[in-house]
């Protein structure tokens, strides 16, 4: 069966909730602690879910009535989870690749450009970010949508996520600067009723907020008033700009007030005190690191807080953050964190005779998949190839020039692979990338939309 024929079969049966897809003969990196890595195995999808993973499912009759895909020479892996990306900024990619600090980014992008955005700009940027995510193997993306100037801006961002087929988390926040309708956070109730009360499961809602009032005033700082919104709606909170002593102090205050818990994800977390880390761990709060953002932009200490998180038993998720200055893919985040942590560990032990406490490739893949899903409240749905979870699956070619020979599958995923090696992407059992190309997107038309909207034509 050739690739075109298989795709035709998959697309013809898209609406069949009982459709079965059997991927056979692959090396399977499940990221499930009990299943581990299968050197050669099969994975069966039924509808939107994984129903079985085993060395050989064909002899058990799993191929009967299924679309069978020979994945020999490939690695099957769970889709990556991006725990924090400001997706509306995608048209502004690399406008400031050598940004010097947070203030420069805030002044240029949030104060200078963001107020000019119309709802259609929100749609185009968010759609571009989501399609790029799918292309590079990110099947779940939390869109920290902090330019929600009107209800229409929020609607456009959510519609963009839905139109791409990504597993999207819309984390809503009002803009930092400029005119807006004053609808946030009250508008979250409308968003939940309109888009999320009958969702097909691909989209979820969170509240997005900041740690302190240093950047844009007290209304954006997480506290009792926003925690009440989170509790009333039964959603989670993602808190950005968690930096240094001011954030450490408010974290201790949140802990005393009972405002920290598993429904809260703290982003960056650079330069925090040991006391703050201990309070986060005791409350069961989650952490989303942004390795390249912290290091390249120079956020607080500029060192991704991986050692601090692991020291208190927190295994973090990973995120992209802002494409105005950074790479768009999870491979870069994994490699940056892997290299930075190991460099620091060896440097700290140099000349002391101590053994460096280094993380490995399994750790960073865990952060990019299972821990990322857990950190944004989706650990029961995605992040590992576990039967019963949603079928968010990557098919990665392991015999391409940059990957052959397949000596270590996790090492190959983390250190060898990139978007060109991702042959197929399934999200909730639906094929979104096939034969190396993202489906259902007219790239030429999208390119024109991006140019019309973006900074390149100096529209903003």
The yes-or-no verdict on residue 291 having pLDDT over 50 is yes
206-223: average pLDDT = 91
pLDDT band at 1 (very low <50, low <70, confident <90, very high): very low
214 within 8 A of 246, measured Cβ to Cβ = yes
User: What digits encode the pLDDT tens for the residues 13-54?
Assistant: 777 788 999 999 999 999 999 999 999 999 999 999 999 999
- In the chain the domains, ranked by start, together with CATH numbers, are 3-79+381-437 (2.30.40.10), 80-375 (3.20.20.140)
**The token pair that represents 5 in the structure block:** 């024929």
pLDDT at 365: 98
Looking at residue 63, its pLDDT comes to 87
Q: What is the overall mean pLDDT for the chain? A: 95
435-446 pLDDT per residue, tens: 999 999 999 999
Rounded Cα–Cα distance for residues 378 and 369 (Å): 11
Give pLDDT, residue 230.
Answer: 96
What is the share, in percent, of the chain residues with pLDDT greater than 70? 98
Cα→Cα distances 242→36, 107, 262, Å: 34, 19, 17
At 382-412, the pLDDT tens digits run 999 999 999 999 999 999 999 999 999 999 9
Q: What is the average pLDDT across 214-218?
A: 79
Measured between alpha carbons, how far apart are the two ends of the chain, in Å?
49
The mean pLDDT of 124-147, rounded to a whole number, is 98
Task: Pick the closest to residue 162 from 388, 372, 440, 378 (CA basis).
Answer: 440
| Band of pLDDT at residue 454, cut at 50, 70 and 90 | confident
Cα separation, 306 vs 243, whole angstroms: 14
pLDDT per residue over 87-132, tens digit each?
999 999 999 999 999 999 999 999 999 999 999 999 999 999 999 9
Q: Tell me the mean pLDDT in the region 223-234.
A: 96
- CA atoms within 13 A of residue 215's CA, in its CB half-sphere: 25
In angstroms, the Cα distances linking 326 to 43, 69, 133 are 35, 35, 14
Task: Name every residue whose Cβ is closer than 8 Å to that of residue 319 and which is 6 or more positions away in sequence.
Answer: 82, 83, 84, 85, 142, 267, 288, 289, 290, 293, 333, 372
Percent of the chain predicted with pLDDT > 90: 91
Angle at 443 between CA 438 and CA 448, to 5 degrees: 155
Confidence band of 458 (pLDDT split at 50, 70, 90): very low
pLDDT at residue 200 is higher than 70:
no
Q: What is the mean pLDDT of residues 226-245?
A: 97
**Is a pLDDT exceeding 50 seen at residue 76?**
yes
- 398 — phi, psi (to 5°)? -100, -5
Q: What are the pLDDT digits (tens) for 306-346?
A: 999 999 999 999 999 999 999 999 999 999 999 999 999 99
- pLDDT at position 11 is 86
Q: What is the mean pLDDT of residues 213-224?
A: 88
State residue 199's pLDDT score: 53
Q: Say if residue 254's pLDDT is above 60.
A: yes
274-283 and 244-257 helices cross at what angle (nearest 10)?
Answer: 40
Q: What pLDDT does 457 receive?
A: 47
Per the listing, tokens 């944004």 go with 376
pLDDT of residue 116: 96
- Which residues have a Cβ under 8 Å from the Cβ of 329 and sit 6 or more positions away? 132, 136, 137, 138, 320, 418, 419
Q: Which parts of 30-105 are beta strand (E)?
A: 37-46, 49-54, 67-70, 74-78, 80-85
Considering only 147-161, 333-347, 445-459, which range has the smallest mean pLDDT?
445-459
pLDDT of residue 189 exceeding 80: yes
């Amino acid at each position: 069966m050739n690739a075109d024929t298989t795709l035709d079969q998959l697309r013809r049966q898209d609406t069949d909730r009982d459709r079965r897809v059997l991927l056979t003969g692959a090396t399977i990196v499940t990221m499930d602690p009990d299943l581990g890595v299968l050197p050669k195995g099969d994975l069966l999808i039924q509808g939107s879910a994984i129903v079985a993973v085993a060395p050989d499912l064909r002899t058990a009759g799993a191929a009967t009535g299924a679309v069978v895909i020979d994945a020999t020479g490939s690695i099957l892996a769970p889709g990556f989870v991006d725990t924090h990306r400001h997706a509306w900024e995608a048209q502004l990619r690399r406008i400031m690749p050598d940004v010097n600090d947070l203030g420069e980014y805030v002044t240029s992008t949030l104060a200078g450009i963001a107020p000019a955005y119309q709802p259609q700009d929100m749609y185009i940027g968010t759609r571009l970010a989501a399609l790029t995510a799918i292309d590079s193997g990110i099947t779940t993306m939390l869109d920290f949508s902090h330019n929600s100037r009107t209800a229409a801006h929020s609607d456009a961002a959510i519609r963009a996520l839905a139109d791409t087929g990504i597993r999207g988390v819309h984390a809503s926040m009002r803009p930092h600067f400029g005119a807006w309708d004053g609808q946030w956070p009250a508008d979250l109730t409308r968003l939940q009723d309109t888009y999320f009360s009958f969702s097909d499961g691909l989209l979820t809602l969170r509240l997005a907020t900041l740690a302190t009032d240093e950047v844009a005033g007290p209304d954006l700082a997480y506290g009792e008033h926003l925690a009440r919104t989170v509790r009333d709606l039964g959603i989670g909170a993602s808190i950005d700009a968690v930096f240094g002593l001011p954030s450490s102090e408010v974290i201790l205050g949140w802990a005393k007030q009972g405002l920290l818990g598993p429904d809260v994800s703290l982003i960056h977390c650079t330069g925090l005190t040991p006391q703050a880390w201990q309070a986060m761990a005791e409350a069961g709060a989650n952490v989303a690191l942004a390795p390249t953002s912290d290091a390249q932009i120079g956020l607080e200490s500029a060192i991704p807080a991986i050692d601090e998180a692991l020291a208190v038993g927190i295994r973090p998720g990973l995120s992209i953050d802002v494409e105005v200055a950074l790479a768009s893919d999870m491979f870069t985040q994994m490699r940056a964190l892997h290299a930075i942590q190991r460099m620091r560990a060896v440097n700290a032990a140099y000349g002391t005779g101590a053994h460096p406490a280094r993380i490995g490739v399994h750790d960073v893949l865990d952060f990019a998949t299972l821990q990322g899903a857990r950190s944004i409240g989706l650990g029961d749905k995605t992040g590992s190839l576990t039967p019963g979870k949603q079928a968010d699956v990557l098919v990665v070619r392991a015999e391409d020039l940059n990957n052959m020979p397949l000596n270590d599958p996790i090492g190959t995923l983390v250190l060898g692979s990139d978007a060109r090696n991702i042959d197929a992407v399934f999200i909730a059992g639906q094929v979104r990338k096939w034969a190396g190309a993202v489906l259902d997107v007219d790239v030429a038309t999208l390119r024109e939309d991006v140019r019309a909207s973006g900074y390149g034509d100096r529209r903003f």
